[in-house]
Amino acid sequence: MIQTCKYFFIKNPIIISPNYPYSLDLDKSCFGKTQFDFSQLICKYRITENFNITSILIKLYKCNAKKVTLKNKVISLNDLSKFTKNAEDICFERVNVKDSDGSIVPFEKIFEAFINAKSFEFSSNSTLPNFTSKTFNELLKIPHFSKLQSMNLNNTPEVFDIKNFCVYMKENKTTKFYLGFDKSVSALYKNRLEKIIDEILSTNIFNYKPPFIDFDGLEKGKKFRLYNLEYGNIV
């Protein structure tokens, strides 16, 4: 396409690709077998299917990808808007999203931006910094939250409103929740989590989607049984 429309390409150089063309065999960025140094490209870049190389963000012109993975990055809310209209399968790994004033964007505001989200994963090496005691209640106000197929949160902090989550959990027939809690949560909070887990494990027939809940110190047997519920008799 670039060769047949080279006049227009010179006027507005944009490379369109379904994903970032990285060759595992050659350990290089490649179009086919042609290697190139992405940092030297003067053109802009458009991803149409799968975005998973955060380092090319500075060159990104447009992204229509339904699967978006961002890793090890501080990203502005403005740059995040390049992904939010089309993404359905979203994964954040060790990512901080900051507003124009440098403040950390609340988790619910990030989720709200992804209007077509079906699967949402957020993980960190330490406790999630953009959670507050109001986060879960704010999520409930977002229309597409109830349509979500799965949400995976790693290093969830103690401020997570587990009481209101439990109320919602027993009415939830759509979303599979995977909640991994941070090591810093108190013994009292762990006791609350374990009571919830015990209640789930003592239920024979579910009219809701039971969540997978994990924390440091949870018995392996209970963890295994919770995991198996995903493949058991659930709605």
pLDDT in tens, 105-147: 999 999 999 999 999 999 887 777 789 999 999 999 999 999 9
Kindly list the distances between the CA atom of residue 217 and the CA atoms of 34, 67, 141, 187, 190, in Å, as whole numbers in the listed order.
51, 33, 33, 10, 9
Global pTM reads: 0.80
8-state DSSP, 131: -
- pLDDT tens per residue, range 165-219: 999 999 999 999 999 999 999 999 999 999 999 999 999 889 999 999 999 999 9
- Pick from 38, 65, 92: which residue ends a domain? 65
Shared-domain flag, residues 54 and 78: no
Residue 217 belongs to domain spanning = 66-229
Contact 76, 100 (CB under 8 A): yes
Q: Are 48 and 59 members of one domain?
A: yes
pLDDT at 4: 63
Q: Are residues 59 and 117 in the same domain?
A: no
Which pLDDT tens digit goes with each residue over 13-55?
Answer: 666 666 665 544 434 555 555 565 555 666 666 676 677 766 6
Q: Does some domain include residue 234? A: no
Tokens of 74: 């501080």
DSSP one-letter code for 185: -
Q: Are strands 22-23 and 28-31 parallel, antiparallel or unpaired?
A: antiparallel
Average per-residue pLDDT for the chain: 83
Structurally, the chain folds into a number of domains equal to 2
80 shares a domain with 196: yes
The answer to whether residue 235 sits within a structural domain is no
Q: Which of 232, 173, 161, 172 is nearest to 201 (CA)?
A: 232
Final residue of a structural domain among 65, 83, 101: 65
Structure tokens at 69: 């993975």
